Structure 1
Amino acid sequence: PLPDSLPFDGTALTVSAGRFVDATGREVVLRGYNVSGETKLAENKGLPFASVTDARKSATALRALGGGNSVRFLLSWAYAEPVRGQVDTAYLTAATDQIRAFLDAGIRVYPDFHQDLYSRWLFDDDSWYTGDGAPKWAVELGDYPDESCGICFLWGQNITQNGAVKAAQYDFWHNAYGLQDSFLTMAQKTMTHLRQGLTTEQFAGVLGFDPYNEPYAGTYTSGQTSRTWERDLLWPFYVKFRARMDAAGWQDKPVLVEPNLFWNGNVSKEEGGLLDAGTLGSRYVFNTHFYDQKAISGILMWGNAADGQYVTDFGTVRDRAAAAGTTAIVSEFGHPLNGSTAGKAPTVLKAMYQALDSRVKGASWWTNPAASGPVLSGNQWQWDIYHGRHHEPMNDNPGKVLTAGDAWNDEDLSAVRLDDTGKAALRQDARLLDRIYPSATSGTTLAFTYEDRSRDGSTTLTWNPVPSSLPSVAQLVGSGQYGLHVWRSGGGSAPTELHLPASFPAASTTVVSDLATVHAPPAYTATTPVGVAAEPGGTGSRRLLLTDTDAGTVHYALVTNGAGAPSAALLAAARGELAAWAAQRIGG
């Protein structure tokens, strides 16, 4: 039986053959959220939560309501090293305690030293904007001009338009005043503290480390390009960070490296993607972000996102990781939930999750499933239980206390909030967020899709209907949600796992697979080919387990909450259709 009492089934992840894999050799997909933008704020002194109790509440909700099995956990350089050369061990201990709350809930964690616009301390107390990241002493070392963004409609324009931000970024990457050296020393002390503060079992749930959020040159020197900046300055920094990880006892965990933040933008693209770093291999993970800046602008994209909107963008991520000899993770993606473009969010987010699941759009998926590619790991921005309840004096200005939204540069992207009773509640459609995904595959994924039937207002969005050429499958699914996973078995001893959303109670779930076909699958046992079990961590979330005993065989499993109590004849007919479809479209 599965060791359900152990977080993550007691295994650490590594990178092999372009995938995350666990100790049993299963291919693992990570889904979840960023925790939390609260780290950017002063009100909780650079921590995501005011208390460990709140961290536990957030972790339980993230698992049970949001369907996540991983978090990117934000840390602050400013609070980790408020005095140069001296780490604040109280801050690091509090951060470790909050990380532990997620690990104990069965959620994998990768910390991130977060920065935006380099530092809050670049900004005046009456500024329109603010930043986060570097401590006050680091800013005071530079003779930076008074910050000004000029005519800016979005806070991100400060990255390329604000002279103070550009100069400070430039100094960091050129190690002016020894800034980068100080950061690396602080990072090593932080990682050592985290490792020592966690048990061996808990530390197994730490995926790796994201060294630096959204790196950008600030200013290119004469003749320099994005690509040569990545080659000459960014990549050497990652190599140094890798060495610090090894020295801190993280040698068996990958460093999750981000390219130039504009590498995969859909407004301003820059050549790069760590093209000159060679084969990254198993000690590095290609880590990037994606936001639809055209949709966010409200000007460059009219109307909503559609089926297949981002399959090319996310296909680029898959291709770059494969060429680099590693796996990929999209550690940030999202769309504002308030403001003039908020109406696009239901379709934009659906299209992003669709592109994480497969590189084939819904209208083509059933006829071309073999082109799906690997299922991408990703963490949505963001998961902030304090949404709308902040008390943040912006840039320490007591006359400018922010309470609305995410309380940072007018952002409003949190998928969660606390209701009037203090209970966590989703701010987005649960059908969109709590999804079926192949959390662990015993073998190699060949194709995967999930039709979430999420809503845009009163409209149900169905981008991947079952084709009429499979009438029994279409009847079985009806108007319900469904996922279809196709994989080649690897001969491992552990079962394949699919996360089961709350909308898939066992009594209403039907599984059609070559392994077994069953309505209302039973509790999992070692002899059950298809069964349901709790996910580790005690949060009430569940998983579907599919057991094969062979190697090199193509298996499929359709999971749906459609037909109420399908007849044996319908189940048999659906199985026959899927078997023929898999043989024709996937092969042996």
Structure 2
Amino acid sequence: MRMRLFLLFPAILGLILTPVSPAHAASTPLVTVDGTRFVDGHGREVVLRGFNVSGEVKLAEKGRLPFADAAAARTSALAMRNLTNANAVRFLLSWEAAQPAPGVIDTTYLAKVTEQAGAFADAGFAVLFDFHQDLFSRYLFNSGSWYTGNGAPKWWVQAGNYPQESCGVCVTWGQNITQNAAVQQATYDFWRNRTDFMWQAEQVLRYLRTNLGDSRFAHVLGVDPWNEPYAGKYDSGQNSRTWEQTVLWPFYQSFRAMMDTAGWTDRPAFVEPNPFWNGNVSNQTGGLLDAGAIGPRYVFNSHFYDQAAISGVLMWGKATDGRESADFAKIRDRSTALSTAAIVSEFGHPLTGYTSDKAPSVDKAMYQGLDSRLTGAQWWGSVAGSGAALSGLQWQWDTNSGRHQELMNDNPDKVKTAGDAWNDEDFSAVAMDDTGTAYLRQDARLLDRIYPAAVAGRTLAFAYEDRARDGSTAMAWIPVPASLPNVRTTVNSSRYGVLVWRSGGDGSPTEVKLPAGFRNTIASDVAYTISADGRTLSLAGTGAAGVVHYALIADSVAPTAAVLTAAKTELAAWAKTAFPS
């Protein structure tokens, strides 16, 4: 291991950070963890859906910030809300920008972070902060490199005297993780010398806690300590499981204690496992198998990318019904075993490149996996196995998509403008036109979804048939069975969602998010209202606790009263059979 002798003397450098006062430390979060659920102050089960903001943080062009300024952040937040009805974001942070030199914190950078994250809180979003890295650091790469990284500061990397980076014949940037000796060694060293990072993280969290203010900080979910943690290389006799047990989990425990010191006692650490544990082209074990019951001060925080689909050779053709269901069920199972809530804080598929034709179907299958454990073919007949919806944040939301001016590795001859401007990736679901108006780069039917944002009680089952398009073809994976003829007539080949829940909470309504322009034909056993903007369905929460309720929401022309009444009768009998009292 290469040793670092940096000593942290911020006082010598004149750094004074405002301490966290007891009053600030008592700020009440809007969303907390209860068992395996996120809940709000009314005891309602919360589902978080949204995007990562944003891969721009990997770039130098805007100072490792998601946006040029707070005004651009507000524009992006409003566009996300209006175009997708999302309620949460994962907001990326840069170690490199926060700590430009040993013992130094750049409070100008943190002030801009606070303004930009605050814009999303002001717009009503829940905000998950993320200390982001990929390939450990941009400073492992030279001006002529094929790839680049992000994360650790230049001074940290320079102290390591790492070998010339080389990935050999690597088809994708991710192969550097396991094939590039410089990336492997620097990552290995990080896990054995985290003092600089931990000190920096504490200063960042203290600053955010103090400067966001109570009303904005109430929207903060917590913090992701380290994006996609990997060993770099294993010691003799070590494997992915034992590395998680002996290296990664102790790091999370130390980070958790630091959060308490920084005034984040009532916010969980969103802890990620080894990113290869749930990869469909890897046989590595993991998922924090030896951590025991970790909640509610931790959240199980997984990513999922269909590596077989991205490869172009391990999955032929398009995704079909249930393609990702087992992998997302695996995340749910780890949540249960760890006794805490789960979130999929990254998922998605490239929108350009040689496998981009798979994006509509693969992304649809991922949303299907978030919505239910079941395939569409199973859903109506085996609904008792559906389970609660998972929270998920798609990678990514970058309003600068396709309009970058990034000098890759500071090379003036490599000006990257296309896509995400980082290692030839292109994932952003949004872009801006020449008038500065945001537009979706994917089918709005996929991204602007029905989802149960706040359920008064416990979700028993949820599904959404979005009928998103693959080209001109509507992908319909959840057919209404012939045994429910009036439900089938009510749906009438339209988009539709079904929610079944067992009542609870304090009498507050269940809130379901609705796509823009939905015609909202509703069949439910409870009274309901729809918000003035048409984007939220409120289902009455009054009545006895523990009662099974249902709601069918269809984008169809309302059928006759007789058909709608008959559809309710069918749904009531179906729900009672699946979920007897």
- Category of TM-score, reference length = shorter chain: over 0.9
Tell me by how many angstroms 1:51 deviates: 1.1
* Matching residue within 81, 84, 103 for 1:85: 103
- 1:244-259 to 2 correspondences below 5 Å: 244-259=258-273
Report the residue type matching 1:345 in the other structure: A
* Matching residue within 313, 326, 349 for 2:327: 313
Does the alignment pair 1:560 with 2:554? yes
Report the residue type matching 2:538 in the other structure: L
CA contact (8 A) 1:318 1:374 kept: no
Q: Tell me, what secondary structure is at the counterpart of 1:209?
A: strand
- 1:12-31 to 2 correspondences below 5 Å: 12-31=30-49
CA distance in 1, matches of 2:277, 2:145: 29
Does the alignment pair 1:532 with 2:530? yes
Q: Tell me, what secondary structure is at the counterpart of 2:222?
A: coil
The residue number in structure 1 matching 2:12 is: none
Aligned residues: 553
* Matching residue within 531, 541, 545 for 2:538: 545
Does the alignment pair 1:127 with 2:145? yes
Q: Tell me, what secondary structure is at the counterpart of 2:255?
A: helix
> What percent identity do the matched residue pairs reach?
62
Report the residue type matching 1:99 in the other structure: A
- 1:474-517 CA distances to partner (integer Å, 9 max, x unpaired)? 1111121111000000142211010011131xxx21111111xx
CA distance in 1, matches of 2:189, 2:173: 21
CA contact (8 A) 2:500 2:548 kept: yes
CA distance in 1, matches of 2:35, 2:144: 51
- 5+ residue gaps in structure 2? 1-27
TM-score, structure 2 normalization: 0.94
TM-score, structure 1 normalization: 0.93
Q: Which runs of 4+ in 1 moved over 4 A?
A: none
Report the residue type matching 2:549 in the other structure: H
The residue number in structure 1 matching 2:284 is: 270
CA distance in 1, matches of 2:172, 2:558: 51
CA contact (8 A) 2:42 2:505 kept: no
The residue number in structure 2 matching 1:181 is: 195
- 1:388-403 to 2 correspondences below 5 Å: 388-403=402-417
CA distance in 1, matches of 2:95, 2:523: 50
Report the residue type matching 2:520 in the other structure: T
- 5+ residue gaps in structure 1? 1-9, 516-528, 535-539
Q: Tell me, what secondary structure is at the counterpart of 1:208?
A: strand
* Matching residue within 186, 189, 192 for 1:171: 189
The residue number in structure 1 matching 2:349 is: 335
The residue number in structure 2 matching 1:66 is: 84
The residue number in structure 2 matching 1:511 is: 522
The residue number in structure 1 matching 2:116 is: 98
Does the alignment pair 1:573 with 2:571? no
* Matching residue within 228, 236, 242 for 2:250: 236
The residue number in structure 1 matching 2:368 is: 354
CA distance in 1, matches of 2:505, 2:356: 46
- 1:402-456 CA distances to partner (integer Å, 9 max, x unpaired)? 0001000000000000012110000000000010010000000000000001000
CA distance in 2, matches of 1:541, 1:37: 31
CA contact (8 A) 1:111 1:209 kept: yes
The residue number in structure 1 matching 2:65 is: 47
- 1:14-35 CA distances to partner (integer Å, 9 max, x unpaired)? 1112100111111000000000
Report the residue type matching 1:67 in the other structure: N
The residue number in structure 1 matching 2:424 is: 410
CA contact (8 A) 1:491 1:552 kept: no
* Matching residue within 293, 297, 300 for 2:307: 293
The residue number in structure 2 matching 1:3 is: none
Tell me by how many angstroms 1:541 deviates: 7.2
Q: Tell me, what secondary structure is at the counterpart of 1:195?
A: helix
The RMSD of aligned alpha carbons is 1.0
Cα 1:491–1:390 change in 2 (3 A) is closer
CA distance in 1, matches of 2:153, 2:75: 30
CA distance in 1, matches of 2:223, 2:569: 46
Does the alignment pair 1:218 with 2:232? yes
Report the residue type matching 2:233 in the other structure: T
CA contact (8 A) 1:312 1:359 kept: yes
The residue number in structure 1 matching 2:442 is: 428
CA distance in 2, matches of 1:134, 1:546: 48
CA distance in 1, matches of 2:345, 2:410: 29
* Matching residue within 290, 293, 302 for 2:316: 302
CA distance in 1, matches of 2:579, 2:425: 44
Report the residue type matching 1:455 in the other structure: R
CA distance in 1, matches of 2:548, 2:578: 11
CA contact (8 A) 1:443 1:492 kept: no
Q: Tell me, what secondary structure is at the counterpart of 1:71?
A: strand
Does the alignment pair 1:461 with 2:475? yes
Tell me by how many angstroms 1:11 deviates: 5.6
Q: Tell me, what secondary structure is at the counterpart of 1:20?
A: strand
CA distance in 1, matches of 2:91, 2:221: 11
Report the residue type matching 2:168 in the other structure: G
Does the alignment pair 1:160 with 2:199? no
CA distance in 1, matches of 2:521, 2:155: 59
The residue number in structure 1 matching 2:7 is: none
CA distance in 1, matches of 2:390, 2:57: 26
Q: Tell me, what secondary structure is at the counterpart of 1:185?
A: helix
CA distance in 2, matches of 1:530, 1:66: 22
Q: Tell me, what secondary structure is at the counterpart of 1:56?
A: helix
Report the residue type matching 1:576 in the other structure: T
CA distance in 1, matches of 2:508, 2:330: 32
The residue number in structure 2 matching 1:5 is: none
The residue number in structure 2 matching 1:208 is: 222
Tell me by how many angstroms 1:272 deviates: 1.2
CA contact (8 A) 1:167 1:219 kept: yes
Tell me by how many angstroms 1:248 deviates: 1.1
**Bigger CA drift: 151-160 or 474-483?**
474-483
CA distance in 2, matches of 1:379, 1:274: 21
CA contact (8 A) 1:64 1:541 kept: no
Tell me by how many angstroms 1:269 deviates: 2.9
CA distance in 1, matches of 2:102, 2:564: 66
Report the residue type matching 1:100 in the other structure: G
Report the residue type matching 1:530 in the other structure: Y
The residue number in structure 2 matching 1:523 is: none
Q: Tell me, what secondary structure is at the counterpart of 2:550?
A: strand
CA distance in 2, matches of 1:541, 1:248: 41
Does the alignment pair 1:585 with 2:578? yes
CA contact (8 A) 1:13 1:23 kept: yes
